[in-house]
Chain A
Amino acid sequence: MTSTIEATVPAIVVGGYLGAGKTTLVNHLLRHADGQRIAVLVNDFGEVSIDAALIEGADGDVLALAGGCICCSFGADLVGTLQRVLGREPPPQQLVIECSGVGLPAAVARSARLAVGLRVDGVVTVLDAETMQTLAADRYVGDIVRQQIADADWLVLNKSDLCDAAALAARRAWLAAHWPATPVVDASRGAVSPALMFGPRRVAPTDGDDEPDWAPRPLRTMAALPRADERFTHEQRRFEAPVDLAALLQALQAEPDLMRVKGWVRALDGRRYLVQVVGRRVSAVPLPAAALPGTDRLSVIRRVEPGVGEACA
């Protein structure tokens, strides 16, 4: 079944300096693909090591991975590679574009948007908690590393298990001082939940309801997150009446601790919009009139401080 909204394949761009753990994170996503056909595009096979246990075969420049996922390198031709990947049968359901370690993710995202049939949902930059500040001050690559951070909608502070609490707090304080609007999520060994990376997922109805549903992905991989004090909750927000879209977006922008929001609402102009929050980025894209019957709702993943709200499953 291909609904109108799924005719646009969502993509996320993963940036970060060499050694930050981008590929480890991508491997984690592939291991938890949960039946979803993910296509991973890497800049250069020379820079990454896709988990050998996931590789089922190679066909030219394309690695066939477990569960119908694929990986290919794009080199200088991101747009052409994206078009070829989107033209595959069956098409991928989720794209992950991994930048080169010295690449600028916003520039990659901008180029990716040139391809027809995909939607760039956001940019995530992975940082090595141990080395990030040294790198950000490096004579040769400091400007690149700082730009990679500035480009991000949210940040993964990877290898946080290798830092003590004080060091980690200092890293967060430094990030908050320079990029106050950008949420930061701790991780170790690249273990970031697909729910955070890809957002809530559209699933078949399970509750007797005859309409498809936006549901959060299983958050079970949250258990892999090392920080006991960093938890996530998910909730559904239903909208019975058309909303003032601008006001809604503004409210979402202002709401603290929102990590990921995905869903649709009907605006006062009568049209439905796909509404998303990806870290600091809030967006709304109009949907075709016939798309997605049923209740308007947003699926929301929030970070909660310890002792507040429910712990994740």
Chain B
Amino acid sequence: MLAPMAADPITIFRARRILTMNPSRPAATHVAVRDGRILGAGALDELRGWGAHTLDERFAEQVLMPGLVEGHSHLMAGSLWHYTYCGYFDLRDPDGRLWAGAPTLDAVVAQLQRASAGGADDAPIVGWGFDPIYFDGRRCTRHDLDRVSATRPVGVLHASGHILNVNTAALQRAGFLRSGIDHPAFPLGDDGLPTGELKGPEAMLPVLDHVGLNRSFLSGDEFGIRAFGKLCVRAGVTTATDLAATLADAEVDTQLAITGEASYPVRLVPLLRLIGLKPAEAVARAVALRERSTERLSLGRIKVVADGSIQGFSARLRWPGYFNGARNGLWYTAPEAMSECYALALQHGVQVHTHTNGDEATDLALDCMTQALAAQSAPDHRFTLQHVQLADAAQFRRMKALGLCVNLFANHHFYWGDQHRAITVGPERAERMNACATALREGVPLAIHSDAPITPLAPLFTAWCAVNRRTASGHVLGAAERIGVADALRAITLGAAYTLKLDGEIGSIECGKRADFCVLEDDPTTVDPAALKDVRVWGTVQGGRVFPAA
């Protein structure tokens, strides 16, 4: 007979309202927590039976819901706060300070000038989140950024992550201030010299070092991982993915050390990207990494990237292609490698998430999965398509038939929907992009995401996007694809947890699950759906630990 263990103390939190996401008792007033897990949610009288407890009333005025789950983000969302925010929209940094959006190029320059004050003579000045599509076609050139500094290198990363603007000093240091350059990624000025706009990785990457952006910033350094944790708390997020990491040993060691700290507030779920590894190596690596998982670092999944982005015209579209006639995009992974990866992953029980943007890429992923699943039955594999922005109803039906999940890029609609309508895919297909309602109607398990730092990490904003489908110009794009608030809230909790095979542990507030809560000042189920994004976040409870945002 096992000796009885000394039980950890029980805390019962009282809240104004608890939205459990558990359909058999959807609302409660109290939740009992022990060992970082939920003993139960209900009325105080029901929970007293668990024994001696402390009644914690600090959330008496707040609303609790399950800790939010960001199913597609990147640790880089934290790392970028090393640098100066230059976006068009207001944004809060990890410490809660509000950065006002820069409505004009002059405002961006002024923002960078302020940030550069007091820096060393040759220290780079770096900005991010820049989005000149809101500047009426005015393109930024090196001369604009020369106003920030004529001697220090200046670089500004665009919100899309696909373009970098630099000043003359940076261009010179990188060896590109010369005539005779003939490359579409280097637009030239009237003087025959590059304008300083670097359009695409082949032009950006050789310059990054010279503006002080080295590659490690992409994969999350210590500062970035900690900053990411703070961003999560501010957004009510208790579990977040790093969707595509190299996960070298040193990187995993760092993540294990930081997430292992008693004060780290989030469970991270980094996915191993297929790039640079043969499919067999990637699957073996994922299997080995799975064994190193801890309570706050969940490893062992793979990310495959099928194509590029629609706004960058590198996504693979089916007939009739791009609205503006641009040539079709590129495959980022060969179809054979995708098929091989799926087959091996199914054999070894490794879950794969696949980035597809264009509908042809989605077709290919579906074909490859059909083939892999025909060879290897794998019930409940939960392979997930990420972004899947242009999928049509027939493709959602195939996803359902194959047992796939989707994680749609609801935020994209707000930030780039107007451009998709006018330029990339045209009005009709723009209306079906990120078709949440179709996914639900066809029975495909649904999550929605931010792809932070591409758009801000804020699942309640993401839910607002899916519910309202408003673009930045205020246009409702694709009203038929709007979903209800309850569905949207499910998508940012249980829905996203399901795509990570974590729905047995998180995503709802019920007996046995982790004590992960999003603590809100307002009730998202009673506010005007148009105001869902304005619901105030108090902070989180993660594994029973309380993290105030303020």
Contact = CB atoms under 8 A, between A and B. Distances in A.
B263 to A, nearest CB: 34
A75 B276 contact: yes
Interface stretch (A24-32, A137-145, A193-201, A283-291): A137-145
Contacts of B364: 140
B335 A44 contact: no
A73 B276 contact: yes
A211 to B, nearest CB: 31
A101 B277 CA distance: 14
Interface string B324-348: 0000101111111100000000000
B336 A110 contact: no
A169 B185 CA distance: 40
B277 A46 contact: yes
B202 A18 contact: no
A114 interface: yes
B96 interface: no
A70 interface: no
A104 interface: yes
B181 A140 contact: no
B206 A77 contact: yes
Given A77-B205, A77-B206, A114-B202, A101 B334 contact: yes
A51 interface: no
B528 interface: no
Contacts of A17: 334
Contacts, number: 79
Contacts of B182: 110, 113
B289 to A, nearest CB: 16
A18 B334 contact: yes
B331 A44 contact: no
B331 A141 contact: yes
A102 interface: yes
B434 to A, nearest CB: 23
B308 to A, nearest CB: 11
Given A78-B202, A79-B205, A83-B206, A102 B183 contact: no
A244 interface: no
Given A78-B202, A83-B206, A102 B330 contact: yes
A48 B333 CA distance: 14
Interface in A66-125: 73, 75-80, 83, 100-104, 110-111, 113-114, 116
B175 A44 contact: no
Contacts of B378: none
Interface of B is mostly: loop
A136 to B, nearest CB: 14
Contacts of B181: 114
B278 interface: yes
Interface string B186-211: 10000000000000011101100100
A44 B275 contact: yes
B360 interface: yes
A141 B335 contact: yes
Contact of A46 (B186, B202, B205, B274): B274
B360 A46 contact: no
A44 B276 contact: yes
Given A102-B334, A114-B202, A75 B275 contact: yes
Nearest to B316: A140
Interface string A131-153: 00000000011011000000000
A309 interface: no
Contacts of B277: 45-46
Given A46-B276, A113-B183, A114-B183, A144 B331 contact: yes
B380 interface: no
B106 interface: no
Given A77-B201, A114-B183, A46 B278 contact: yes
Contacts of B209: 80
B335 A104 contact: no
A73 B276 CA distance: 8
Contacts of B534: none
Shortest 9 CB-CB contacts between residues of A and residues of B: A77-B205, A102-B331, A76-B201, A79-B206, A80-B206, A111-B202, A46-B277, A18-B334, A101-B334
5 contacts: A44-B276, A46-B278, A77-B202, A114-B206, A144-B331
Interface of B: 175-176, 181-186, 201-203, 205-206, 209, 274-279, 281-282, 316, 328, 330-337, 360, 363-364
Given A45-B276, A102-B331, A111-B185, 16 more contacts: A18-B334, A18-B336, A44-B276, A46-B278, A46-B279, A47-B334, A76-B201, A76-B205, A79-B202, A79-B206, A103-B330, A104-B330, A114-B203, A140-B335, A140-B363, A144-B331
